């Protein structure tokens, strides 16, 4: 067993949050090691790969661009498309997107270590890898997803989870809209078709307790789209995974003398209604890397500042989405998830944005 303690910042996870944190901390002149269990950044893909134009995901999104999106089509139960015009964005290739961010971190000076899975995190913040290596640093940044090992060690866990399942199929007709499918059969979630050139991502999410519905409901949606002549019947690929849906959790803590900062999905920054997470991951990861640098430079208030900055940036949108999701789940439980109730819980409709005092915030936009 070897131990590496000559590190200022240790980042766990190299998705958009972790790569952004590693880049920001390394750019500040810190000694950064960042590890990820995957062999390649962004592979396998666990994302629907849409980014709205109003959300700035930086050069990485443009470099990974597949096609433009012009509008949103929402289908309530078996109804026809209800169009939300002027909902522009781009479909990206997440593998390319993540690779770009990781390479930016490497260029900034971070020591990038792929294929390095974490076995456990000790009460003092020391990280043990399955390889036998032991890593320690004054700052530990957890960017390791909804079931973060770092967050769990610090007692900071996402309690509400959406289960998701997605397939890739041939897209038979060119399409420039994101298609959303709302149904009383999908409690706490929705279905989607997102076009990527000549391929489409078809998927759905539901509250964890209804995960047994994923396969039959996805098969139903796929069959519907095949019957409509929109997509091919052959499955080109499968993916899926957990999505945090309980709102932001406390993003800063201590494990012994180690400062712990959480970012992205690990901090619960994914939108509870839409599953939006890419922009929040990049922004919060950058903030976490900067906060680490400030704390190591002697600013003892940096962790609190980080938490406040996250609240200022994401609090309003997460609060609204959590309210809408809670109301929608109650309607499902009561058997009153009518089409109007479904519309009230989705961002395309005015009902979503009215009847409370939460300010408007563009981070409510769909980006998943």
Residue showing tokens 């131990």 = 3
C-alpha pair distances (Å), 317 with each of 190, 290, 320, 322, 359: 19, 23, 5, 9, 8
If you average pLDDT over every residue of the chain, what do you get?
91
pLDDT for 46: 67
Give 358's pLDDT tier (boundaries 50, 70, 90): very low
Strand order in the sheet with 32-35: 111-113, 32-35, 9-12, 139-142, 258-262, 252-255
Sequence-ordered list of residues with C-beta below 8 angstroms from that of 93, at least 6 positions apart, any chain: 49, 64, 66, 196
Domain spans, the chain: 3-44+94-159+246-316, 50-55+64-92+160-244
Whole-model pTM: value is: 0.92
d(CA 78, CA 69): 23
Higher pLDDT, 131 or 276: 131
| Burial bucket for residue 31 (CB in 10 Å: 0-12, 13-18, 19+) | middle
Residue showing tokens 């950064």 = 32
pLDDT for 63: 73
d(CA 202, CA 233): 12
Residue showing tokens 């903030």 = 287
Could you read off the pLDDT of 288-307 as tens digits, one per residue? 999 999 999 999 999 999 99
Q: Do 3-44+94-159+246-316 and 50-55+64-92+160-244 agree at the fold level?
A: no
d(CA 129, CA 134): 6
Could you read off the pLDDT of 90-124 as tens digits, one per residue? 888 888 999 999 999 999 999 999 999 999 999 99
Give 66's pLDDT tier (boundaries 50, 70, 90): confident
Q: Which of 56-60, 143-147, 358-362 has the highest mean pLDDT?
A: 143-147
pLDDT for 4: 54
Residue 246: name the closest of 343, 335, 366, 146 by CA: 146
pLDDT at 177 over 80: yes
d(CA 15, CA 143): 7
pLDDT at 67 over 50: yes
- DSSP collapsed to 3 states, 115-169: CCCEEEECCCCCEEECCCCEECCCEEEECCCCCCHHHHHCCCCCCCEEEEEEEEE
Give 210's DSSP letter: G
Contact yes or no for 212/234 (Cβ under 8 A):
no
Could you read off the pLDDT of 30-46 as tens digits, one per residue? 999 999 999 998 777 76
Residue showing tokens 């390649």 = 40
Q: What is the topology classification, in CATH, of domain 3-44+94-159+246-316?
A: FAD/NAD(P)-binding domain (3.50.50)
CB 230: neighbour CB atoms within 10 A? 19
Q: What is the topology classification, in CATH, of domain 50-55+64-92+160-244?
A: D-Amino Acid Oxidase; Chain A, domain 2 (3.30.9)
Strand order in the sheet with 82-84: 82-84, 71-76, 177-182, 191-196, 199-207, 161-171, 231-244
| Burial bucket for residue 366 (CB in 10 Å: 0-12, 13-18, 19+) | buried
The SS3 assignment for 271 reads coil
pLDDT for 273: 96
CB 122: neighbour CB atoms within 10 A? 14
d(CA 121, CA 141): 12
pLDDT for 359: 44
Query: Strands 9-12 and 139-142, how do they pair?
Result: parallel
Give 168's pLDDT tier (boundaries 50, 70, 90): very high
The residues facing 171 across adjacent strands are 231
CB 44: neighbour CB atoms within 10 A? 14
pLDDT for 364: 46
d(CA 197, CA 175): 8
């Amino acid at each position: 067993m070897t131990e590496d303690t000559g590190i200022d910042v240790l980042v766990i996870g190299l998705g958009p949050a972790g790569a952004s944190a590693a880049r920001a901390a390394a750019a500040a002149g810190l000694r950064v090691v960042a590890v990820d269990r995957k062999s390649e950044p962004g592979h396998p893909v666990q994302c629907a790969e849409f980014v709205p134009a109003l959300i700035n995901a930086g050069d990485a999104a443009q470099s990974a661009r597949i096609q433009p999106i012009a509008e949103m089509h929402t289908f309530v139960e078996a109804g026809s498309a209800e169009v939300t015009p002027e909902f522009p964005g781009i479909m990206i290739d997440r593998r390319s997107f993540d690779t770009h961010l990781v390479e930016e971190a490497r260029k900034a000076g971070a020591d990038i270590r792929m294929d390095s899975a974490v076995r456990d995190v000790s009460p003092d913040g020391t990280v043990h890898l399955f390889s036998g290596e032991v890593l320690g640093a004054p700052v530990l940044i957890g960017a390791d997803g909804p079931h973060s090992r770092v967050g769990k060690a610090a007692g900071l866990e996402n309690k509400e989870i959406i289960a998701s399942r997605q397939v890739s199929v041939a897209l038979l007709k060119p399409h420039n809209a994101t298609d959303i499918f709302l149904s009383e059969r999908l409690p706490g979630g929705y279905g989607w078709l997102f076009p990527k050139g000549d391929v489409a991502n078809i998927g759905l999410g539901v509250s964890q307790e209804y995960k047994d519905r994923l396969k039959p409901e996805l098969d139903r949606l796929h069959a519907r789209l095949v019957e409509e002549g929109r997509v091919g019947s052959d499955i080109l690929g499968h993916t899926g995974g957990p999505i945090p849906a309980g709102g932001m959790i406390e993003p800063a803590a201590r494990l012994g003398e180690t400062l712990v900062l959480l970012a992205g999905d690990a901090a619960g920054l994914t939108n509870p209604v839409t599953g939006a997470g890419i922009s929040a991951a990049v922004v919060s990861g950058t903030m976490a890397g900067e906060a680490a640098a400030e704390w190591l430079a002697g600013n003892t208030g940096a962790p609190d500042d980080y938490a406040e900055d996250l609240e200022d940036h994401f609090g309003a949108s997460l609060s609204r989405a959590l309210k809408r999701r809670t109301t929608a789940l109650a309607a499902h439980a009561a058997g009153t998830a009518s089409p109007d109730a479904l519309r009230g819980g989705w961002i395309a409709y005015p009902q979503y944005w009215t009847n409370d005092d939460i300010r408007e915030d563009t981070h409510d936009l769909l980006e998943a």
